[in-house]
Structure 1
Amino acid sequence: MVPKPVRPWRPDAATPAERIAWPDDFGPHFLVFVDVEEEFDWSAPLDRRHRSTRAMRAFAPAHRRFAAAGVGLNCMVDYPVAVDPASVAILAECVTDGRSEIGAQLHAWVTPPHHEVVDPFTSHAGNLPLALEAAKLDTLTEAIATSFGARPRIFRSGRYGLGPSSLALLAERGYRLDSSMRALHDYGDTGGMDFSGIDSHGFRRDGMIELPLTSVYTGLLRGRGESLYPKAGRWPHGRGAMARLGLLNRIPLTPEGVSIGDALAGIDRAVADSVRLLTFSFHSPTLELGHTPYVRTARDREMFDRWWDRVFDRLARHGVTPTTMADVLAAADRSAGQPDHGARGPALSGH
């Protein structure tokens, strides 16, 4: 059994010394991350037998739509996808666009070795014993390297399950950038981590670049969001009421559960807050009907595409342009006065 702490792990907010001061000629830009994974019933208990990747057949058409807009996809691939030849072939074709990249995503419950009981707590890899987290990370990294011909350099812990030792483990294995922290979110009630003190600005820690998934507070009370938003959640419909009254709303940049209106307001706020690199995300099973709560009908799928059309238009109006992971890493190196490590072989990136 894995012992469960009384309180969830809560990483410290970035210090001024940790924050990345992006070069003046970099940004504002945006990236799109896709959690490329098996499909499973999100309302049911996690089960390591659920490993189907049939929804990947919807990935290539979606990628073509993003590519036509000049937007690359950072494909955070988990183990069931990495060992499925059909999925690998689809993704290998996608990264020939010159803008997309293959990264790693650790779903602990479907990644060997399987020495833990599967439950909400252990599904967050950072909650596992260090040796087991490291072993699963090695399995995933080697599977991706074998399938795509090069080791990944970007990482996400599934379910935002980054732990206190995860960044150091990643740095030891040659990873450059992590995007596991979802800014302003606390998953402690479901066995996860508390990132409510993390904002949307990139920073360096434990030898890694941390690029949180962009979330912002909007509303008249947004300046007190960190303290008020958790309290509002203790009242029935408290958060919804505050959002409707224009007092306080938390907006992550994702088409999954976020309306177009909220997304546009979130972009406006992030730009006003001088976030130089905005990050968007969604899950690959959302591209096919019926796998996630966000796309159940053909109408839902149509609205998914419309969401992106409106978002890309708003970003363009703000002068926020798409960028690539190679350019992000090169800019981060320049800001730190380090050699440019942006080059990458063609197996994982078009650069």
Structure 2
Amino acid sequence: MVAKLLVVIHAEEEFNWEQGFHSQNQAVTHHQALIPFMGELIGLGAKITLAMDYPFVDSPGGREVISHYQQSADQQVEFAAHLHPWVNPPYHASSSAESEFESYPCNLSPEVEYEKIRVLTEKIQSVSGLPPVTYLAGRFGIGHHTNQHLRALGYQVDLSISAYCDFSHQHGPDFSDRTNAPFIDNTICHVPHTSSWLSLSRQIERKANRSPSWCKSMNRWHITRLLGKAFRLRKFRLSPEGNDFSQLRAITQAQLNIGQKVFVLSFHSPSLMAGMTPYVQSTADCQLLKSTTRQYIEWFQQELGGEIVLAKEMAVAQG
């Protein structure tokens, strides 16, 4: 099987990540950087899954992005859904701020979670002219009822799992026993966001990546911390946010070594402008993110002989 890459952009509003979750954060001004950069990536042979939240789709800037790439839809760009519950109607909180607990869609009541996904789905279809078939929960907040909602609303693919990651300390889901392998549940094809354990010891690296339950049990005995110190065992996400090209290549190789063939490269759209996310604080940071993304996409195609696909194509591939 040829290695496949999904390029997923979390297209969302701009907000200060350290100041909580507020419904009034609706601004999207980074479209001026997003439009040309998407064009660069497409020019390199990439296909882009644009996972859009409500403020993005509802804003003049976001609508400009959608309009610009409407002719490319179905071939080079996919308009997907990305639920940030704190800025997505219907609003149910008594104040404009939501708690960290409520920022995970899976912690909402089933009725509220469904309504928010439904409203977002209809907004994307009304603006783009296409019903979204790929879903990404904000903060990877997928829960027990999410699959049922997605089926009812016509979705085929979900990107809401973050392999090897545990968000339970923030009231979020625990994916520490999940690998990057796609799977089908209740007709929905789940493609996890790619993460990988890396270590100076290839043996420990392979063990951690092949058997996440082993890592989980080691963590219970606080052994993971010791391994981290002794063998530099650390977890990395396949993203140009905070990683350079050599790290992205190492993440990919570590997963190829255990037979993984599907990868998700992701970043947040506001990271294309300095000062809008913690990952990109300067113009130099911004340029590094862009060059790293371009270099990785070229490497994946030219050196690995890999194929770049839209998320929705995975439903066909897995079916």
TM-score (norm 1): 0.81
Aligned residue for 2:128?
148
Report the counterpart of residue 187 of structure 1 in structure 2.
Answer: 167
User: Does the Cα contact within 8 Å between 1:154 and 1:175 map onto a contact in 2?
Assistant: yes
Aligned position for 1:130: 110
Say which is worse superposed, 182-191 or 77-86, in terms of deviation.
Answer: 77-86
Q: Is the CA contact (8 Å cut-off) linking 2:29 and 2:61 kept in structure 1?
A: no
1:102 paired with 2:87, answer: no
Which has the higher mean CA deviation after the structures are superposed, 184-193 or 303-312? 303-312
Shift, 1:207, TM fit: 2.2
Provide the residue aligned with 2:194 in structure 1: 214
Distance apart, 1:232 and its partner CA = 6.2
Correspondent of 2:24 among 49, 59, 81: 49
2-side partners of 1:303 and 1:129: how far apart?
41
Which consecutive residues of structure 1, in runs of 5 or more, have no partner in the other structure?
1-23, 334-351
Does residue 262 of structure 2 align to residue 270 of structure 1? no
C-alpha distance in 2 between matches for 1:255 and 1:75: 16
**More helix by percentage:** 2
Q: Distance in 2 between matches of 1:321 and 1:44?
A: 39
Correspondence for 2:53: 78
One-letter code of the match for 2:278?
P
Which residue of structure 2 lines up, in the alignment, with residue 291 of structure 1? 276
Provide closer, same or farther for how the CA distance between residues 128 and 271 of structure 1 changes in structure 2, counting only shifts above 3 A.
Answer: same
Aligned residue among 42, 63, 86 for 1:67: 42
Sequence identity (%) = 25
1:247-287 superposed Cα distances (whole Å, 9 cap, x missing partner)? 42212101112233221110111222222211111100001
Partner of 1:8: none
CA distance in 2, matches of 1:242, 1:313: 34
For residues 64-87 of structure 1, give each alpha carbon's deviation from its aligned partner in whole angstroms, at most 9, with x where no partner exists.
Answer: 110111102100110011112431
| Residue number in structure 1 paired with 2:92 | 115
- Give the distance between the partners of 1:294 and 1:230, measured in 2 at CA: 31
Q: Is the 8 A contact 2:156 2:312 kept in 1?
A: no
Residue in 1 that maps onto 2:10: 35
Give the CA RMSD over aligned residues: 2.2
SS of the counterpart of 2:21? coil
Structure 1 residue aligned with 2:286, among 291, 296, 301?
301
2-side partners of 1:232 and 1:245: how far apart? 15
User: 1:319 and 1:204 mapped to 2: Cα distance?
Assistant: 26
Counterpart amino acid of residue 63 in structure 2: V
The count of aligned residue pairs is 305
TM-score, normalization: structure 2? 0.89
- Amino acid in the other structure paired with 1:290: G
Alpha-carbon offset, residue 310 of structure 1: 3.1
The 8 Å contact of residues 103 and 139 in structure 2, kept in 1 or not, is answered as yes
Any runs of at least 4 consecutive aligned residues in structure 1 with deviations exceeding 3 A, and if so which? 224-235, 241-247
Q: 1:230 deviation in Å?
A: 8.2
Question: Structure 2: where are the runs of 5+ without partners?
Answer: none
